[in-house]
Amino acid sequence: MTLSLDQAVEVLRAAGEPTRLRILALLAHEELAVMELGRILGQSQPRVSRHLRLLAEAGLVERFPDGAWVFYRLAVEGQRRELLDEVLAAVVADDAVLTQDAGRLEAVTGERAEQATLYFERNAAHWDRIRSLYVSDAAVEAAIRKAAGQGPFRRLVDLGTGAGRMLTLLGPEAETSLGLDLSQHMLNVARANVARAGLERCELRHGDIFGTRLPGECADLVVVHQVLHYLGDPAAAVREAARLVAEGGRLIIADFAPHDVEFLREQHQHRRLGFTDAEIERWLEAAGLSDVKAAALPPAEGQRLTVKIWSAERARQPQRRAA
């Protein structure tokens, strides 16, 4: 389906204003909260919100509340997105205003990363205890084992491995295992835990979940355990994780369902307060995975957090051709 003349004019009119074009260029990097956009643009939140409302009405951005915050991202697909991509591609890359905006965005994301690094350094030694504050580790691990299916696994990759709990849980069923994390402090804890578990064919590596530098379709089990809610662009992390899944392999994501426990943002560096099934399913299917399943683990008594386990597979070649 192509855009009608009126639809094309609506898209171009929405994008054809300096502040709105700057917003679109920023959102092309990652999803951002209204307050972050206001800071980067040097404009008030009400003014930025008005521009965002017009962009949303034109179908160029998606709005999604997340606790007390509201995030925006570029529309994922469709003819409007294709036209928008052409508009953004035509903008001069070294434009002074857009270059300044990109620098401010880098400063915002840099501060966010620094705060996260300090948090992980402070809490690396007792990370498992922090994770157990809200849900039963035993229940989560049982659900992950069930989602992983029967081993043995040729290769296990754990992205954002933290203290290495997924490696010690699933590693005994894997011929080789690899855990990646950006925090050297967390990797040191993981190394000690992996050594105690006697996992000899397990490698711990400093690496970025957005760019793992691993070959495509290299693992038959990829795990992203309680990582997405820390990230500025969780959809991009899902794409990279899915890229690693081999034919017949599986990706498992464990994270929170949407919630309103705001102090997790301030005290525990959570950027997103959970994810919906529809959101995760859309990202997984867009990344080429199928047979998406979701399991919910209700919160412990007196708590408010529900853990979700999502799994998806990469179909084998004959099935992919048929699809």
Could you tell me what percent of the chain has a pLDDT over 90?
56
pLDDT in tens, 48-105: 999 999 999 998 999 988 878 888 989 866 788 888 888 888 887 778 999 999 999 9
> To the nearest whole number, what is the mean pLDDT of the chain?
88
- Is residue 301 predicted with pLDDT exceeding 90? no
Which of these ranges, 209-213, 231-235, 259-263, has the smallest mean pLDDT? 259-263
What pLDDT is attached to residue 135?
A: 66
Instruction: Give the bridge partners for 95, in sequence order.
Output: none
All structural domains of the chain, each given as residue ranges with its CATH number in brackets, are 5-91 (1.10.10.10), 127-322 (3.40.50.150)
What pLDDT is attached to residue 139?
A: 87
Q: pLDDT-derived band of residue 211, with 50, 70 and 90 as boundaries?
A: very high
Rounded CA-CA distance 294/304 in Å is: 19
Rounded CA-CA distance 320/68 in Å is: 41
Query: What are 321's two structure tokens?
Result: 């051709």
- Is residue 237 predicted with pLDDT exceeding 60? yes
Q: pLDDT-derived band of residue 137, with 50, 70 and 90 as boundaries?
A: confident
Query: What are 80's two structure tokens?
Result: 């409007």
Could you tell me what percent of the chain has a pLDDT over 70?
93
Q: With CA atoms as reference, report the closest residue to 56 among 86, 20, 19.
A: 20
What pLDDT is attached to residue 31?
A: 85
- Is residue 304 predicted with pLDDT exceeding 70? yes
3-state secondary structure 229-286: HHCCCHHHHHHHHHHCEEEEEEEEEEEECCCCCCHHHHHHCCCCCCCCHHHHHHHHHH
Q: pLDDT-derived band of residue 113, with 50, 70 and 90 as boundaries?
A: confident
What pLDDT is attached to residue 320?
A: 53
Query: What are 88's two structure tokens?
Result: 């953004």
Can you give the pTM of this predicted structure? 0.74
HSE, CB side, 13 Å, CA atoms: give it for residue 140.
24
| 222: helix, strand or coil | strand
